[in-house]
Every structure is written in C-alpha cells, then in structure tokens.
Structure 1
Amino acid sequence: MDNWQNRWARNKYWVMARSQHLYDEGRFLAKNNNWSPDKEATFNKILRTAEALQPTQKTLANTYQHIWGYFKRTCTPEEKRTYLALLKELTPKNDQLGFFLQQMAEKYRVGYLLNSRLLKECFNRSDLI
C-alpha cells in the first residue's frame, strides 16, 4: 500500500469519530487511488481540523458500529451482549466500547483495526486500564 493509503487506513475511523463530513472528504480524496500534492495538502488539513474536534456520542456510536461490522458474524453471543450494553452506555466521557473493540481486534486478529489510530488511542488511555 502507498504511504497515503496507509495514512488514510490508520486515520479514517479516528476522523469519522470526530466528523462524518471530514470522513466523507477523506474518502473522496482516496477514491480511485489517485494521489497528488494537492490531495496531500487537503488530507493534512482534514487531520488538523479533526484534531480540533471532540467526538460526540453520535459520531462515536456511528464509528463503532462500522468497526463492529468486522466482528458481528464471528463474535460469541456474550461478546454481542457486551457490545450492545457498552453501546447503550456510550458517551464521550464513558467510552469503554472503544477499548472493548480494540480487545476484539486483538482476539480476532484484525490487523486493519489494530493499526487504527482510534483504537490505539482507546487502548492507550490510562483511565481505561
């Protein structure tokens, strides 16, 4: 994968958790695998803009539902119950769901998600450990 593709893959859920609009802009940039210096500048602006935003309950829930799609067919019934309970309790200040999804990515060895900036940040938050 090209560097920009790796950067998009690593950052896309992190951006989505902050703004669906910014995520859509990034997705549009990545379309057709055609990168340019102008697109690089725009992508960097998207990341800077996203850094100034905080996730909301709605943006986090939407993003985590996308991530859950990687597990919904392989998870155990107990894992599904845990996911649904944590989703119901989710707020930006009570985000146990991100940590749970990071653990699921480890268990099911979903490398794409293990490299996700969003899940890495959830895992590294000291208040969750």
Structure 2
Amino acid sequence: MNSKEERLQCQKLWAKNKYLILSHSSKIYLEIRTYLKQEEVSIVKVNEFIKQAVSLPEDKGQVTNALHHVWGYFKKFATKEEKDYFFEMIEEYHNNKYKIEDLIKEVKHLLKKYPNKYLEESTFINGG
C-alpha cells in the first residue's frame, strides 16, 4: 500500500471510530487528530491508538462529551422534546439510572427518524 492509500485507510478508520475514541479519551482523540496531520501515517499506529482508548474503563464525562458531539448531528432537526429527553437521559446516566447502552439505543432511535450515514457507520453507535 502506498502512502496515499494508507492515509486514506487511516482517515476511514478514524471516521468510523472517532466518537468511540472520544467516548473513552479526549486525550487520545486529540493525539490521533494530531498524528493524522503528519506527512507519513500508519494504519497499524491508528489501530494501536484505538485499542489503547477502548481498553480504558468507562468514564461518564468522556461518554457525555462524545454524546454531545453526536447530538450535533440532530440539533437542527430534533424537536425540543427530543432534545430535552436526550439531555435528561444523559443527566440520569450520571445518576446511574441509564447505562451507555440506553443512550446508544436513543441515538439509534433518532437515526431512524433523522438518518445520517456518517453516524450510522460509527463504531460508537453500531459497534465494530
């Protein structure tokens, strides 16, 4: 694979995994972004970053940050009630009333109503 193809593969891998990574570590998220700006990039290195991020324990603050980014795809379309419910769920997630899976399920519900190919392909929403 030439460096141009490798860069393209790295960018595709990043696009699919960026919210999953963000949900685990904003530090690693920023490290990958910076890494991908380099002249030479490696798919192996990007995969190492991803593995490093997902090996970290669940951090509600990181998950919330990722969910806020995901919400950005719905904010122009969703109703006030949908927004209020989503953010209430996030708040209740911090109180252990909901699990991350419940929030992902709600995102999938919103995606049925407001399709978005980019989010639908995200490993954060649909797993590997």
The reply to whether TM is greater than 0.5 is yes
Asked whether the 8 Å contact 2:16–2:123 carries over to 1, the reply is yes
TM-score by length of 1: 0.80
**Does 1:66 pair with 2:69?**
yes
The aligned runs of 1:1-129 (5 Å cut-off) are 2-31=8-37, 34-37=39-42, 40-91=43-94, 94-95=99-100, 96-121=102-127
Query: Structure 2 CA distance, aligned partners of 1:105 and 1:113?
Result: 8
Amino acid at match of 2:41: S
Alpha-carbon distance in 2 for matches of 1:55, 1:106: 26
Query: Following the alignment from structure 2 to structure 1, what is the Cα–Cα distance between the partners of residues 44 and 110?
Result: 34
TM-score (norm 2): 0.81
1:100/1:48 CA distance change after superposition, 3 Å: same
Indicate how the Cα distance of structure 1 residues 86 and 109 shifts in structure 2: closer, same or farther if over 3 A, else same.
Answer: same
Alpha-carbon contact 1:12-1:26 (below 8 Å) kept: no
Structure 1 unaligned blocks of 5 or more: 125-129
User: Greater CA radius of gyration, 1 or 2?
Assistant: 2
Aligned structure 1 segments of 4 or more residues deviating by more than 4 angstroms: none
Q: Percent identity?
A: 27
User: What do you get for the CA RMSD once the two structures are aligned?
Assistant: 2.2
Counterpart residue type for residue 118 of structure 1 = F
How far 1:17 moved relative to its partner?
Answer: 0.6
How many pairs are equivalent?
A: 119
